[in-house]
Amino acid sequence: MAYVGRLMKGIAYNNGIRRELVDACEKIQGAYSIFFLTEDKLVAVRDPFGFCPLVMVRHSNGAFVFASETCALNLIEATYEHEVFPGEVIVVDKNGLQSLCLMTHPQPKQCIFEHIHFALPNSIIFGRSIYDSRCQFKEILVTDSPVNYEVVIAVPDSGTIAALGYAAKAGVPFPQGLIRSHYVGRTFIEPSQKIRDFGVKLKLSPVRAVLEGKCMVVVDDSVVRGTTSSKIVRLPKKVDAKEVHMMIVSPPIIGSCYNGIDTLALRNCLTLIKIF
Protein backbone atom coordinates (compact mmCIF):
# COMPACT_ATOMS: atom_id res chain seq x y z
CA MET A 1 0.00 0.00 0.00
CA ALA A 2 1.43 3.35 -1.03
CA TYR A 3 2.14 5.94 1.62
CA VAL A 4 -1.05 7.92 1.08
CA GLY A 5 -0.02 10.31 3.82
CA ARG A 6 2.35 12.04 1.40
CA LEU A 7 -0.54 12.77 -0.93
CA MET A 8 -2.89 13.95 1.81
CA LYS A 9 -0.59 15.97 4.02
CA GLY A 10 -2.58 19.15 3.44
CA ILE A 11 -5.77 17.62 4.77
CA ALA A 12 -4.52 18.04 8.34
CA TYR A 13 -5.18 21.78 8.22
CA ASN A 14 -8.62 21.67 6.60
CA ASN A 15 -10.40 20.61 9.77
CA GLY A 16 -10.16 22.19 13.23
CA ILE A 17 -10.11 19.02 15.32
CA ARG A 18 -7.57 17.39 13.04
CA ARG A 19 -5.34 20.43 13.13
CA GLU A 20 -5.38 20.44 16.93
CA LEU A 21 -4.70 16.72 17.01
CA VAL A 22 -1.73 16.91 14.67
CA ASP A 23 -0.31 19.94 16.47
CA ALA A 24 -0.63 18.18 19.83
CA CYS A 25 0.99 14.96 18.63
CA GLU A 26 3.94 16.84 17.17
CA LYS A 27 4.64 18.24 20.64
CA ILE A 28 4.60 14.85 22.39
CA GLN A 29 8.03 13.37 23.06
CA GLY A 30 8.52 9.66 23.58
CA ALA A 31 7.13 6.34 22.36
CA TYR A 32 3.42 5.94 21.72
CA SER A 33 0.79 4.30 19.58
CA ILE A 34 -2.55 5.78 20.59
CA PHE A 35 -6.19 5.77 19.56
CA PHE A 36 -8.98 8.32 19.83
CA LEU A 37 -12.64 7.40 19.55
CA THR A 38 -15.24 10.12 19.04
CA GLU A 39 -18.91 9.88 18.14
CA ASP A 40 -18.15 9.49 14.46
CA LYS A 41 -14.39 8.96 14.10
CA LEU A 42 -11.65 6.49 14.96
CA VAL A 43 -8.17 8.00 14.96
CA ALA A 44 -4.91 6.02 15.18
CA VAL A 45 -1.56 7.75 15.76
CA ARG A 46 2.01 6.42 15.77
CA ASP A 47 4.92 8.43 17.13
CA PRO A 48 7.23 10.11 14.57
CA PHE A 49 10.20 7.90 15.47
CA GLY A 50 8.22 4.66 15.16
CA PHE A 51 9.36 3.36 18.55
CA CYS A 52 6.21 1.28 19.09
CA PRO A 53 4.54 -1.02 16.55
CA LEU A 54 1.10 -0.38 15.10
CA VAL A 55 -0.63 -2.19 12.22
CA MET A 56 -3.84 -1.66 10.28
CA VAL A 57 -6.01 -4.52 9.04
CA ARG A 58 -9.31 -4.84 7.18
CA HIS A 59 -12.10 -6.95 8.66
CA SER A 60 -14.15 -9.19 6.41
CA ASN A 61 -17.11 -6.80 6.86
CA GLY A 62 -15.01 -3.92 5.51
CA ALA A 63 -14.21 -2.28 8.83
CA PHE A 64 -10.71 -1.04 9.63
CA VAL A 65 -9.02 -2.53 12.70
CA PHE A 66 -5.82 -1.39 14.44
CA ALA A 67 -3.59 -3.43 16.72
CA SER A 68 -0.11 -3.28 18.19
CA GLU A 69 0.66 -6.85 17.08
CA THR A 70 -0.37 -8.90 14.07
CA CYS A 71 -1.14 -11.90 16.28
CA ALA A 72 -4.41 -10.13 17.12
CA LEU A 73 -5.54 -10.89 13.56
CA ASN A 74 -5.79 -14.57 14.46
CA LEU A 75 -8.84 -13.80 16.61
CA ILE A 76 -10.88 -12.12 13.88
CA GLU A 77 -11.52 -12.52 10.16
CA ALA A 78 -9.14 -9.78 9.06
CA THR A 79 -6.63 -9.18 6.31
CA TYR A 80 -3.34 -7.41 6.95
CA GLU A 81 -3.19 -4.03 5.23
CA HIS A 82 0.05 -2.35 6.28
CA GLU A 83 2.08 -1.13 9.20
CA VAL A 84 1.13 2.38 10.24
CA PHE A 85 4.04 4.57 9.28
CA PRO A 86 6.08 6.54 11.83
CA GLY A 87 4.44 9.92 12.33
CA GLU A 88 1.22 8.91 10.61
CA VAL A 89 -2.29 9.80 11.77
CA ILE A 90 -5.10 7.69 10.29
CA VAL A 91 -8.69 8.94 10.56
CA VAL A 92 -11.56 6.52 9.88
CA ASP A 93 -15.15 7.79 9.61
CA LYS A 94 -18.26 7.24 7.52
CA ASN A 95 -16.44 8.61 4.48
CA GLY A 96 -13.68 6.01 4.70
CA LEU A 97 -10.03 6.36 5.59
CA GLN A 98 -7.78 9.40 5.46
CA SER A 99 -4.07 9.45 6.25
CA LEU A 100 -2.37 12.55 7.66
CA CYS A 101 1.40 12.93 7.72
CA LEU A 102 2.96 14.21 10.94
CA MET A 103 6.50 15.41 11.29
CA THR A 104 8.66 12.43 10.33
CA HIS A 105 12.21 11.55 11.26
CA PRO A 106 14.74 10.45 8.61
CA GLN A 107 15.96 7.57 10.80
CA PRO A 108 13.18 5.62 12.58
CA LYS A 109 14.13 4.43 16.07
CA GLN A 110 12.35 1.10 16.41
CA CYS A 111 12.44 -0.46 19.88
CA ILE A 112 14.58 -3.61 19.68
CA PHE A 113 12.97 -4.92 22.88
CA GLU A 114 9.86 -5.77 20.85
CA HIS A 115 11.85 -8.51 19.10
CA ILE A 116 13.82 -9.50 22.18
CA HIS A 117 11.12 -9.60 24.85
CA PHE A 118 7.80 -7.79 24.45
CA ALA A 119 6.06 -9.19 21.36
CA LEU A 120 4.50 -12.63 21.00
CA PRO A 121 6.38 -15.09 18.74
CA ASN A 122 3.51 -15.32 16.23
CA SER A 123 3.60 -11.60 15.46
CA ILE A 124 5.31 -9.64 12.71
CA ILE A 125 6.83 -6.46 14.10
CA PHE A 126 8.65 -3.83 12.01
CA GLY A 127 8.21 -6.09 8.99
CA ARG A 128 10.01 -9.06 10.53
CA SER A 129 8.82 -12.27 12.19
CA ILE A 130 9.40 -12.35 15.95
CA TYR A 131 9.82 -16.12 15.81
CA ASP A 132 12.50 -15.87 13.11
CA SER A 133 14.40 -13.24 15.09
CA ARG A 134 14.46 -15.34 18.24
CA CYS A 135 15.38 -18.47 16.32
CA GLN A 136 18.46 -16.70 14.99
CA PHE A 137 19.60 -15.99 18.53
CA LYS A 138 20.53 -19.68 18.81
CA GLU A 139 23.10 -19.31 16.04
CA ILE A 140 24.91 -16.65 18.05
CA LEU A 141 24.78 -18.72 21.23
CA VAL A 142 26.12 -21.91 19.65
CA THR A 143 28.89 -20.02 17.86
CA ASP A 144 30.01 -18.01 20.87
CA SER A 145 29.35 -20.58 23.59
CA PRO A 146 29.80 -24.29 22.76
CA VAL A 147 27.65 -26.59 24.88
CA ASN A 148 29.11 -28.68 27.69
CA TYR A 149 25.92 -29.21 29.66
CA GLU A 150 23.57 -32.09 30.36
CA VAL A 151 20.37 -30.10 29.84
CA VAL A 152 19.29 -26.74 28.46
CA ILE A 153 16.28 -25.00 30.02
CA ALA A 154 14.58 -21.71 29.24
CA VAL A 155 13.24 -18.84 31.28
CA PRO A 156 9.66 -18.95 29.98
CA ASP A 157 8.22 -17.57 27.87
CA SER A 158 10.46 -15.10 26.06
CA GLY A 159 13.59 -17.24 26.32
CA THR A 160 11.93 -20.44 25.12
CA ILE A 161 12.44 -20.17 21.36
CA ALA A 162 16.14 -19.32 21.57
CA ALA A 163 16.72 -22.05 24.18
CA LEU A 164 14.86 -24.62 22.09
CA GLY A 165 16.92 -23.80 19.00
CA TYR A 166 20.13 -23.76 21.02
CA ALA A 167 19.44 -27.20 22.50
CA ALA A 168 18.49 -28.66 19.10
CA LYS A 169 21.57 -27.23 17.40
CA ALA A 170 23.83 -28.58 20.14
CA GLY A 171 22.06 -31.94 20.47
CA VAL A 172 21.32 -31.48 24.19
CA PRO A 173 17.99 -32.37 25.89
CA PHE A 174 15.54 -29.51 26.40
CA PRO A 175 13.21 -30.38 29.31
CA GLN A 176 10.81 -27.96 30.99
CA GLY A 177 12.87 -27.13 34.05
CA LEU A 178 11.06 -23.96 35.10
CA ILE A 179 7.28 -23.70 35.33
CA ARG A 180 5.81 -20.24 34.83
CA SER A 181 2.66 -18.86 36.39
CA HIS A 182 0.81 -16.85 33.76
CA TYR A 183 -0.99 -14.86 36.42
CA VAL A 184 2.12 -12.80 37.20
CA GLY A 185 3.20 -9.99 34.87
CA ARG A 186 6.63 -8.66 33.97
CA THR A 187 8.62 -8.27 37.16
CA PHE A 188 11.35 -5.89 35.98
CA ILE A 189 8.91 -2.96 35.70
CA GLU A 190 7.53 -3.26 39.22
CA PRO A 191 8.09 -0.12 41.35
CA SER A 192 10.18 -1.61 44.17
CA GLN A 193 12.86 -4.26 44.54
CA LYS A 194 10.88 -6.06 47.25
CA ILE A 195 7.90 -6.46 44.92
CA ARG A 196 10.18 -7.59 42.06
CA ASP A 197 11.82 -10.26 44.24
CA PHE A 198 8.47 -11.59 45.43
CA GLY A 199 7.16 -11.55 41.86
CA VAL A 200 9.97 -13.86 40.73
CA LYS A 201 9.03 -16.37 43.45
CA LEU A 202 5.42 -16.32 42.34
CA LYS A 203 6.21 -16.44 38.64
CA LEU A 204 8.74 -19.30 38.34
CA SER A 205 9.05 -22.68 40.02
CA PRO A 206 11.84 -25.26 39.43
CA VAL A 207 11.14 -28.92 38.64
CA ARG A 208 13.26 -31.14 40.89
CA ALA A 209 12.81 -34.27 38.76
CA VAL A 210 14.39 -32.46 35.82
CA LEU A 211 17.15 -30.44 37.48
CA GLU A 212 18.40 -32.42 40.47
CA GLY A 213 22.06 -33.39 40.05
CA LYS A 214 22.31 -31.89 36.56
CA CYS A 215 24.93 -29.62 35.01
CA MET A 216 22.65 -27.21 33.19
CA VAL A 217 22.38 -23.88 31.41
CA VAL A 218 19.49 -21.43 31.70
CA VAL A 219 18.76 -19.37 28.57
CA ASP A 220 17.00 -16.03 28.93
CA ASP A 221 16.24 -13.33 26.41
CA SER A 222 17.70 -10.30 28.20
CA VAL A 223 18.99 -8.74 31.40
CA VAL A 224 17.43 -5.44 32.44
CA ARG A 225 18.30 -4.72 36.07
CA GLY A 226 19.99 -8.05 36.73
CA THR A 227 18.34 -8.66 40.09
CA THR A 228 15.66 -10.89 38.56
CA SER A 229 18.28 -12.98 36.78
CA SER A 230 20.20 -13.57 39.99
CA LYS A 231 17.03 -14.92 41.59
CA ILE A 232 16.32 -17.15 38.60
CA VAL A 233 19.68 -18.91 38.64
CA ARG A 234 19.25 -19.67 42.33
CA LEU A 235 16.00 -21.55 41.72
CA PRO A 236 17.67 -24.70 40.28
CA LYS A 237 20.09 -24.68 43.21
CA LYS A 238 17.12 -25.02 45.55
CA VAL A 239 16.34 -28.39 43.95
CA ASP A 240 20.01 -29.49 44.11
CA ALA A 241 21.18 -28.83 40.55
CA LYS A 242 24.88 -29.65 40.27
CA GLU A 243 25.92 -26.62 38.19
CA VAL A 244 23.87 -23.65 36.99
CA HIS A 245 25.10 -21.54 34.09
CA MET A 246 23.21 -18.69 32.43
CA MET A 247 23.17 -17.37 28.88
CA ILE A 248 21.63 -14.12 27.67
CA VAL A 249 20.79 -13.96 23.99
CA SER A 250 20.40 -10.20 23.52
CA PRO A 251 23.22 -7.67 23.20
CA PRO A 252 24.25 -5.86 26.39
CA ILE A 253 21.92 -3.14 27.62
CA ILE A 254 24.28 -0.23 28.25
CA GLY A 255 21.95 2.70 28.97
CA SER A 256 18.56 3.84 30.10
CA CYS A 257 15.58 4.19 27.76
CA TYR A 258 13.94 7.60 28.06
CA ASN A 259 11.36 7.07 25.33
CA GLY A 260 9.73 3.69 25.83
CA ILE A 261 9.48 1.42 28.85
CA ASP A 262 10.77 2.99 32.06
CA THR A 263 14.18 1.43 32.70
CA LEU A 264 15.87 4.28 34.54
CA ALA A 265 17.33 1.87 37.08
CA LEU A 266 19.33 -0.01 34.45
CA ARG A 267 22.82 -1.10 35.24
CA ASN A 268 25.45 -1.99 32.68
CA CYS A 269 24.75 -5.65 32.01
CA LEU A 270 27.32 -7.79 30.21
CA THR A 271 26.20 -10.61 27.96
CA LEU A 272 28.32 -13.34 29.42
CA ILE A 273 27.97 -16.87 30.65
CA LYS A 274 27.75 -16.66 34.41
CA ILE A 275 28.51 -19.61 36.65
CA PHE A 276 26.86 -19.83 40.05
pTM for the model: 0.73
Q: Which of 101, 120, 138 is the last residue of a domain?
A: 101
135 shares its domain with 260: yes
135 shares its domain with 234: yes
Expressed as residue numbers, the domain containing 58 is 4-101
> For 153-201, what is each residue's pLDDT tens digit?
998 887 888 888 888 888 889 999 998 877 665 555 454 555 555 556 6
> For residue 10, what pLDDT is reported?
39
179 shares its domain with 242: yes
We report the CATH number of the domain holding residue 231 as: 3.40.50.2020
Asked whether residue 92 is assigned to any structural domain, the reply reads: yes
> What value does the mean pLDDT take over residues 61-71?
87
Lowest mean pLDDT segment, chosen from 22-31, 103-112, 149-158, 259-268: 259-268
> For residue 96, what pLDDT is reported?
86
8 shares its domain with 60: yes
Asked whether residue 228 is assigned to any structural domain, the reply reads: yes
Total domains in the chain come to 2
The full 3-state SS of the chain, as one line of letters, equals CCCHHHCCHHHHHCCHHHHHHHHHHHHCCCCCEEEEECCCCEEEEECCCCCCCCEEEEECCCCEEEECCHHHHHHCCEEEEEECCCCEEEEEECCEEEEEECCCCCCCCCCCHHHHHHCCCCCEECCEEHHHHHHHHHHHHHHHCCCCCCEEEECCCCCHHHHHHHHHHHCCCCCCCEEECCCCCCCCCCCCHHHHHHHHHHHEEECHHHHCCCEEEEEECCCCCCHHHHHHHHHHHHCCCCEEEEEECCCCCCCCCCCCCCCCCCCCCCCCCEEC
